[in-house]
Structures are given as C-alpha cells and as structure tokens.
Amino acid sequence: MADFKVNLIRYTDPDRRSLAHAAAVYLGKPDTDNVKRPLSIIKKGDTLAIFRGESARFEFWTSKVVYDHLITYTTLNMRACGGLRANEATVFVPPGEDDDPIYRELGEKHLATYRSLVHGIDPQSDNPMEKKRLQAARYIAPVSVQLHYVLDVNFATLIEAMFPQRIWSPGAQYDTRQVVESMFAQVREKDPELWDLIYEYYGPEAHAWKRLRVKLKKENPDLYEQILRDFGATKSMWD
C-alpha cells in the first residue's frame, strides 16, 4: 500500500482552447481555436511561454522528504502547507525503497517521543509535564512525517523541470518519483494527446538522445556531422 496520496483538484485547460488562443496570438494566426497548434510548438522546440499560463493544482499527503523535493521549484504558482509549526505530526512515513521494518519501528518511536512532549508527558518517565509548544517540539520530530499540502504548478514547470527531473531522469529519488508519476498520470487523463507528446519530447528517450549526442560528438565526430547534415535540418515555427 502506498504511503502517499495525490489528488488533481484543478486543471485549467482540459479542452486546450486557452492554449490554442495563446498560441494563435503568439504566432499571429487568425484561427484561435486551433487546438493542434500548441502541439506544434512542442514539436518544433519553441519557447514554452504559453504553457506557463496554464496550471494543475494538486493536493498531497506525503512525507516531508517528498515535500522538500517538490518545493525546490521556485516557479510554482502557489503553495499551501499545514506545516509542523502549528500542526501536530501524527503519521510516520517509512522509505518506499527499503521495506526493512527497522525504519518504521525507529520512526514510530521518535514520533511517539515528539507527541509525548506535545501532550505534556515526559517521554522518559511517562509522568505529566508542561506541554511543549509545537514549534519547539518539531525539532525532535522524525524528518519523514506526513504533511498535507497543496501545490499549483504551471504546465511549463511540469514539462521542463518537475517531470524530467523527478521521473524521467536516471537517479530520481524513489519516493518522490512515485508521487510525481501519479501527478503525471492524472494530468495525462485530462489531455492524453498533449501529455503523450510531452513524454515523447521530454521523457526518458529524449534524455537518452542528449547523452548519446554528447558521446557521439566526442567519439565519432565524422558520423555526428553526417547525421546532422542528413537529419538535423529544422524549420521555423512560422514555416
């Protein structure tokens, strides 16, 4: 059973009409209802500026470890979190990548010590004591307690940063990858054509080609130049 929950609670452009309008204005085209045009922008590698205007809002129940990874994106539209300064931690989340019960056993022990202080019980003697304030007691809470929070993420951040770094690149941290995979699955349900295309152009294969390009250019420059001549021609967005 997963030790997290993610719900997509708002998706701003399920029919792609807002993106279509913005794409038409950006390119000076009269057909503002052409919902295929945003796809062309992705295919031709143009700026994703129009995608910054649309967003997906998610509600999370995850470990603080995952939360700390997700809030590193400074281009998030909005963040609302019931943090430990004013909310009592009640759930410990063990690491998903290692099912050794020692993590839960020790984590629950530390959580119990923290909660004893909050409720005015001396964790060493079980005797009554003065209740400790949440903002002070949180210093001894386990790192991996469950947090409840909401993030609003614009499409450009999802496309260029969060999805590539957290699920499509080698070495992504296990628990965070599980959460972000759920995020991707939920936005894909809203617009499979768009997000399947994004997966094709920004997903694992795209990362593999980038690494291959660097290696090929270094180890076989003649073949690299030949491939560029035969297949490397690009068109302008206005072509």
d(CA 21, CA 33): 6
Last residue of a domain, one of 128, 144, 160: 144
CB 35 within 8 Å of CB 16: yes
Q: Is residue 48 a part of any domain in this protein?
A: yes
| 236 within a domain of the structure (yes/no) | no
Do residue 113 and residue 195 come from a single domain? no
> Helix (H) and strand (E) counts for the chain?
11, 4
Reported pTM: 0.88
Identify whether 91 is part of a domain.
Answer: no
Q: State the pLDDT at residue 6.
A: 98
Q: Which backbone phi and psi does 61 adopt, to 5 degrees?
A: -130, 95
Q: Hey, is 3 helix, strand or coil?
A: coil
Same domain, residue pair 14 and 123: no
How buried is residue 92: exposed, middle or buried, by Cβ count under 10 Å (0-12/13-18/19+)? buried
- Which residues have C-beta within 8 Å of that of residue 235, sequence separation ≥ 6? 44
Q: What is the pLDDT of residue 133?
A: 93
Q: Select from 190, 136, 202, 217 the least CA-distant residue to 163.
A: 202
Domain extent, residue 100, equals: 96-144
One domain, residues 69 and 150: yes
Residues present in the chain in total: 239
Give CA–CA dist 97/178, Å, rounded: 10
* CA torsion angle 163 164 165 171 (round to 10): 110
154 and 126 within one domain: no
pLDDT tens by residue, the chain, 239 residues = 468 999 999 999 999 999 999 999 999 999 999 999 999 999 998 999 999 999 999 999 999 999 999 999 999 999 999 888 889 999 999 998 899 999 999 999 999 999 999 999 988 898 998 999 999 999 999 999 999 999 999 999 999 999 999 999 888 889 999 999 999 999 999 999 999 999 999 998 877 777 777 887 788 877 778 887 877 656 554 44
Q: Are 44 and 234 in contact (CB under 8 A)?
A: yes
Q: Do 169 and 100 fall within a single domain?
A: no
Examine residue 132 and state whether it is found in any structural domain, yes or no. yes
Looking at residue 233, what is its pLDDT?
Answer: 58
Q: Are residues 227 and 158 in the same domain?
A: yes
- What is the model's pLDDT at position 219? 80
| Helical residues (DSSP H) of the chain, grouped into ranges | 17-27, 37-43, 64-70, 102-118, 134-137, 155-157, 163, 174-190, 192-202, 204-219, 221-231
Q: Are residues 11 and 70 in the same domain?
A: yes
| Tokens standing for residue 146 | 């469950």
